[in-house]
Amino acid sequence: MATSPKAQQHHSPPPQVLDQNASAAEGELQDSVQRTCSGACALRAVELLRSPKDAILRDELALRMAGPRMLRWFGERWDAWEAAEGPGKHSYFAGRARVLDELVQEAAAALAARTGDHASAPPGAPVDEASGGGGSEAGGSGGSGDLCVQVVSLGCGMDTRPWRLGGLPAGTAWFDVDQAPVIELKDRFLREAGAELGPSAAASGGGGSGSQQGAEAGAAFTLKCSSYRQVVSDLSQPGLQQQLEAAGFDPALPTLWVLEGLCYYLPLDANARLLADAAAASPPGSRLLATHIPRENLDANRACQPGVSALGGLFTVCIDDVQADGMLGRAGWGDVVVSGDIGEEVVSRFGVESYYPYSLEYSGGRKLGGIEVILQAVRL
């Protein structure tokens, strides 16, 4: 277990450091999608600027995609969190990402083993390299005939795991799925950051031109998976499997479904349909990995008054709702395991604590006993 980082005095980075990590597409951040996406990157990457030596997650690509204004804004809040809770903690969202990084690699390796002896790095392999290396020998241009496992990131947002997870099995196909505005913005941010996308990364229905930008073009961030595709889908509506198959998804291959920070924004019926659709598109033994909120978090968010918190009333369901009435079993999922609070998982795995951004008013500033849990399940 890692030891807690030493307390340090942190100061705002000089403007030239922020400017080096600017996204040309950032503009004035007047667009709500752009603000949300840039903010998600900044929440994971801000401690790289505040405490680079001790950062729990080294997401250099997120740092580049966040842009200087968001990094400054969250840097100021980081200073406030330190003043309120003391130095030496980490970004909650960086900690959550790190826990899920390990779980994704472990699950992908287990699924790959079902299809043969494919080479893969051990689950503890580095997950934060900015470029080079990785479990995939072919990078973004790998042939589909060599694929052994698929990872589908639903509601992917600005997730950068395809460029960060050095322990993915060789032969991993990665599918990023989200609404059109998010996929289009992510594609643009990735290209501006110099990330490898591979040939025809964009799926039908949107998400950029799909032109090749790979290691041969001198990519600053190379893919760690064998193939990468972007898929446009409204996850509150049916049709997911058809949209995935149009992008090259193979329902016969073992698949890991990753739902990070998604389920509690969807209505309960959409959660049920998404669980059933994922199971229907997967062979037995496939895996599900999803984050959920406890009842306390849902109630606190619902209690936020309109006009007091812009983030109040966003959450729709909690883990109890999803587990009620046999929803998972009816959808085709079993062997369900629910973790303790993610903050506790970070302490258990890495020996460090984290700052949860209560000042963002998800809970109206109310301190909670639990923030999120991780649900894991296996396709029956």
Task: Please name each of the domains of the chain with its CATH number.
Answer: 15-88 (no CATH), 93-379 (3.40.50.150)
Question: What does the DSSP 8-state code read for residue 110?
Answer: H
Q: Which residue type sits at 186?
A: K
Q: Which residue type sits at 116?
A: G
Residue appearing with tokens 């960060």: 164
Least confident of 96-105, 135-144, 253-262, 309-318: 135-144
Three-state DSSP class for residue 288: strand
Q: How many CB atoms lie within 10 A of CB 29?
A: 16
The pLDDT of residue 239 is above 70: yes
The pLDDT of residue 12 is above 60: no
- Are 238 and 277 a contacting pair, CB within 8 Å? yes
Binned at pLDDT 50, 70 and 90, residue 308 comes out as low
Task: List pLDDT tens digits, range 314-334.
Answer: 899 999 999 998 999 999 999
| Mean pLDDT within 130-147 | 43
For residue 113, the surrounding DSSP H or E stretch is helix 92-114
Q: How many CB atoms lie within 10 A of CB 27?
A: 11
Give residue 136's pLDDT: 34
Least confident of 141-145, 165-169, 236-240: 141-145
Task: List pLDDT tens digits, range 149-161.
Answer: 999 999 999 999 9
The pLDDT of residue 212 is above 60: no
Give residue 201's pLDDT: 63
Rg (CA), the chain: 20
The pLDDT of residue 1 is above 90: no
Task: List pLDDT tens digits, range 343-365.
Answer: 999 999 999 999 888 767 788 77
Task: List pLDDT tens digits, range 187-197.
Answer: 999 999 999 99
Give residue 257's pLDDT: 98
First to last CA, the chain: 34
**Can you tell me the distance from the alpha carbon of 274 to that of 239, in angstroms, rounded to the nearest whole number?**
10
**Can you tell me the distance from the alpha carbon of 372 to that of 344, in angstroms, rounded to the nearest whole number?**
10
| Mean pLDDT within 8-21 | 35
Q: Helices 68-85 & 32-50, crossing angle to 10 degrees?
A: 60
Task: List pLDDT tens digits, range 23-54.
Answer: 443 443 347 788 889 999 999 999 898 888 89
